[in-house]
Amino acid sequence: MTPRLVAEGVACSYGEKTVLRDFSLAAEPGTVTALLGPNGAGKSTALRALSRLLRPRAGTVTLDGQDVWRLPRRGFGRQVAFVPQSEAVAWPMTVEQVVLLGRLPHRGWLLPYSREDHAALRTALRQVDLEDFRERDLDSLSGGERRRALLARALAQDARVLLLDEPGAHLDLRHQMELFGLLAGLARERRVAVVLSLHDLNLASLFADRAVLLNEGRIVAQGPTQDVLTPGLLLETFGIAVETVPHPRRGVSMILPIPEEIPGDPR
């Protein structure tokens, strides 16, 4: 059973500066929710508040009704996984070692890894197509491959809620499609709740069921993706004029930005 991770009226600040206010979101099982907005809108902050990394100044974050800050870290880690945008890896570590660490919430910090842990490792590597990379050092991988390794760790964590910070960044087209396809598949088939932040509006349109538009720390709009990705709301949020056209195969809105007129440019 997928637990419900809910944020209500969350406000966060770094020092004196409030970067997120009145943020409410329910990570619905079986759905992919996209957090969208310009840089500095508060997307990463919202994700960190949801993943129990940043303590909100106001509001609550609950998992199945319980305040997440009252839950033991390990217990929370078994249910909710966070995939950061990047990770500094100072020392050579193999993919296997990094992914196996995802079993920490289950195995604990002391006991040796079990057969079950290794099975979860293999499954996770297969899901992200990194089986051949098992013994490779993490820093010998490309940016995209590294991202998939981090995702594999979250998968090995066997969490029912996945929070990802810009998972598509630096991935080539094919891997982007694969990654989002994988996430959408997990949501659909395993009822995993996925919340991720995104810059590419069209990817959001293709793969996210729900979208949250953020601007300057506030929610501008929230709801089914197709209702949120409208020219009016996007102009208000990004300050860019857009037109939407339906995707020829899927029917979902594809966002076409309209560049400013350049005098003398025939286009």
Partner 1 sequence: MSRRRYAFLLLGLGLALALAAVFSLAVGSTDIPARRTLEILTTSGPSLERTILVDLRLPRIFLAIVVGAGLAGAGTAYQGLFLNPLADPFVIGASSGAALGATTSILLNLGALPLAAFLGALGAVGLVYLLGSGGGGGSSSPLGLLLAGAAVSTIVGSLVSLLMILNDKSLGVIFNWLLGGLSTATWRELGYGAPMIGAGLVLLGLLSRPLDALALGDDTASSLGLSVVGFRFAIVLAATITTAAAVATAGIIGFVGLVAPHAARLIVGGRNGRLLPASCLFGALLLLLADDAARILAEPREIPVSIVTALVGGPFFLYLLRQRARPA
Q: Is 76 in the site for partner 1 (CB under 8 A)?
A: yes
Return the range that interacts with partner 1 (CB under 8 A); candidates 83-91, 171-179, 215-223, 240-248. Answer: 83-91
Q: Which is nearer to partner 1, 21 or 48 (CB)?
A: 48
In the chain, the amino acid numbered 119 is A
| Helix locations, the chain, DSSP H | 43-50, 73-79, 95-100, 104-107, 115-127, 143-156, 173-190, 201-207, 225-228, 231-238
Q: Is 58 in the site for partner 1 (CB under 8 A)?
A: no
Q: Is 162 in the site for partner 1 (CB under 8 A)?
A: no
Structure tokens at 198: 């995104």
State the residue for tokens 């997990």: 186
Structure tokens at 59: 């509001």
Q: Is 194 in the site for partner 1 (CB under 8 A)?
A: no
Given candidates 14, 40, 53, 223, which one binds partner 1 under the rule CB under 8 A?
53
Q: Which is nearer to partner 1, 71 or 182 (CB)?
A: 71
Site string for partner 1, 12-51 (x = CB under 8 A): ------------------------------------x--x
Given candidates 24, 94, 202, 226, which one binds partner 1 under the rule CB under 8 A?
94
Whole-number Å distance between alpha carbons of 5 and 113 = 29
Tell me the closest approach of the beta carbon of residue 245 to partner 1, in angstroms: 39
Contact 35, 198 (CB under 8 A): yes
DSSP result, 140-202: GS-HHHHHHHHHHHHHHTT-SEEEESSTTTT--HHHHHHHHHHHHHHHHHH--EEEEE-S-HH
Q: Is 77 in the site for partner 1 (CB under 8 A)?
A: yes
Q: Which is nearer to partner 1, 8 or 137 (CB)?
A: 137
Return the range that interacts with partner 1 (CB under 8 A); candidates 35-43, 60-68, 105-113, 239-247. Answer: 105-113
Q: Is 140 in the site for partner 1 (CB under 8 A)?
A: yes
- The dihedral region occupied by 189, where left means phi > 0, alpha psi between -120 and 50, and beta the remainder, is alpha
Size of interface with partner 1, in residues (CB under 8 A): 34
Cα angle 264-265-267, degrees, rounded to a multiple of 5: 145
Given candidates 13, 60, 97, 202, which one binds partner 1 under the rule CB under 8 A?
97
Q: Which residues bind partner 1 (CB under 8 A)?
A: 48, 51-53, 72-78, 80-82, 84, 87-94, 97-98, 101-102, 104-105, 109-110, 137, 140, 157
